[in-house]
């Protein structure tokens, strides 16, 4: 059986990446990878669903055992992508989506050869700003900061394999699904099938 | 505006490539390229629809003017892919499908960098043989010859970008459409869009 696809799907805050990931992961064949962190759970956050909440000691043990695909430290807490569950799912033929930020995604692309990387773009910066304001929860300062982060992240989009513009959510989801389907039909993943067809005929 | 995709879609006799090409070309944005030949029209064949029927002199003139993307000679007749109409369509943003045999396709892949190549596979040699027999029009000898040609062609499938197995026609068509959609979202085709989003914000 073919291994599943390892997918990184990222984009700036307000791009809609979280919603897209969740809809794609409704497919029972797709597994949304859960990150590990040493920070405390916030209200409503569940261990194993939003994050694996582990201690600093556990995290550092895992690092020593090469148990993290990538990690970083932010505001004094570790965040990382556990390797083991991801690898098991891929071996079982499941696709695995990593919802990680742009720097994490670039780290993964450096370490893993056949990762499929998708960057979710807003149709324009104006639309992105409207979306961030529309939440109504952020101060002007936070909005300016998010916009600056978004511009920095979009500047790195050209290191991804694919760009999907999230103008209409349904279209963006269809496009992500099309990318995953196309990736499965690449010759690199179909070579065994082709060989099988030819050998069977010769037996 | 982005140029359209140049697509070669081939596969052995009985793979269903002709039907798939025709359904894909129902999209008004997709243009099925018409080959030129020096052979005589068969009953029911229309100039400009099945082939451009031209004289040997015209064909050789076009070759001298570098007017053919690829060509070959078979049973004393030339067959070739005219460049001009194809290039105009691509410039206009239309996708162009070349329905050419495997050797023609390999020639095109050598000459054009960004061609998208799709090989249509039967699910097995047994199914292919059943399909060829099912037509009820071919002698045993012709069937053996077609099967041998198919095996040779499938042996070259690993030089294509994508393999689509035509087990159920509707699925195969969806998969081809997914490949074309994914190709349009590759970073190489989206770079200008990304730049546009960033520049607009800075103006």
Give the CB-side neighbour count of residue A118, counting CA atoms within 13 A: 33
pLDDT tens string A116-130: 999 999 999 999 999
Pick A193's closest partner by Cβ from B126, B163, B179.
B163
Domains observed in chain B: 6-33+93-202 (3.40.50.300)
Best of B130, B159, B194 to disrupt the A interface (most A CBs within 10 Å) is: B194
d(CA A161, nearest CA chain B) in Å: 6
Q: Which residues contact B202 (CB under 8 A, 6 or more apart)?
A: none
- Predicted pLDDT at B134: 84
> B203 versus B195: which is more confidently predicted?
B195
Kindly state the tokens that stand for B27.
């999209």
The 3-state DSSP class for residue A186 equals strand
Pick A194's closest partner by Cβ from B157, B177, B197.
B157
- Predicted pLDDT at B179: 98
d(CA A35, nearest CA chain B) in Å: 27
Judged against a pLDDT cut of 80, whether residue B46 lies above it is answered with yes
Q: Where does the pLDDT of residue B1 fall: very low under 50, low under 70, confident under 90, or very high at 90 and above? A: low
Q: Which residues of B touch A14 (CB under 8 A)?
A: none
- Predicted pLDDT at A135: 75
Whether ipTM tops 0.85, in short, is: yes
Query: Residue written as tokens 């004393």?
Result: B76
Cβ distance of B201 and A151 shorter than 8 Å: yes
Q: Which residues of A touch B179 (CB under 8 A)?
A: 178, 181-182, 185
pLDDT tens string A157-181: 999 999 999 999 999 999 999 999 9
Contact A16/A153 with Cβ under 8 angstroms? Answer: no
On whether any CB of chain B is under 8 Å from the CB of A2, the answer is no
pLDDT tens string A60-88: 999 999 999 999 888 889 999 999 989 99
Listed range (A5-9, A54-58, B68-72) with the worst mean pLDDT: B68-72
pLDDT tens string B162-193: 999 999 999 999 999 999 999 999 999 999 99
The mean pLDDT of chain B is 92
> B117 versus B99: which is more confidently predicted?
B117
The CB density around residue A166, as the number of other CB atoms within 10 Å, is: 24
On whether any CB of chain B is under 8 Å from the CB of A162, the answer is yes
Q: Where does the pLDDT of residue A99 fall: very low under 50, low under 70, confident under 90, or very high at 90 and above? A: confident
- Predicted pLDDT at B74: 82
- Residues B4, B160, A89, A177: what is their CA dihedral angle, to the nearest 10 degrees? 20
Q: Where does the pLDDT of residue B202 fall: very low under 50, low under 70, confident under 90, or very high at 90 and above? A: low
On whether any CB of chain A is under 8 Å from the CB of B187, the answer is yes
Cβ burial B107-124 (10 Å sphere, 16+ → b, else e): bbbeeeeebbbbbbbbee
Judged against a pLDDT cut of 80, whether residue B146 lies above it is answered with yes
Q: Which residues contact B64 (CB under 8 A, 6 or more apart)?
A: none
Q: Where does the pLDDT of residue A40 fall: very low under 50, low under 70, confident under 90, or very high at 90 and above? A: very high
- Predicted pLDDT at A65: 95
């Amino acid at each position: 059986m073919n291994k599943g696809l390892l997918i990184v799907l990222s984009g700036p805050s307000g791009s809609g990446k979280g919603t897209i990931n969740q809809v794609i992961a409704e497919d029972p064949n797709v597994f949304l990878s859960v990150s590990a962190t040493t920070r405390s759970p916030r209200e409503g956050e569940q261990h194993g669903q939003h994050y694996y909440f582990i201690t600093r000691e556990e995290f550092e043990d895992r690092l020593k055992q090469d148990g993290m695909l990538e990690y970083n430290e932010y505001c004094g807490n570790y965040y990382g992508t556990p390797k083991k569950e991801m690898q098991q799912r891929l071996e079982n033929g499941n696709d695995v989506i990593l919802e990680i930020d742009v720097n994490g995604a670039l780290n993964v692309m450096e370490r893993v050869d056949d990762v499929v990387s998708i960057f979710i773009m807003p149709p324009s910066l104006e639309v992105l700003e409207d979306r961030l304001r529309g939440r109504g929860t952020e101060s002007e300062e936070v909005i300016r900061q998010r916009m600056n982060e978004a511009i920095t992240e979009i500047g790195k989009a050209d290191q991804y394999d694919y760009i999907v513009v999230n103008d209409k959510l349904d279209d963006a989801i269809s496009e992500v699904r099309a990318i995953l389907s196309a990736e499965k039909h690449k010759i690199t993943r179909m070579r065994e099938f082709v060989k099988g067809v030819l050998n069977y005929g010769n037996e």
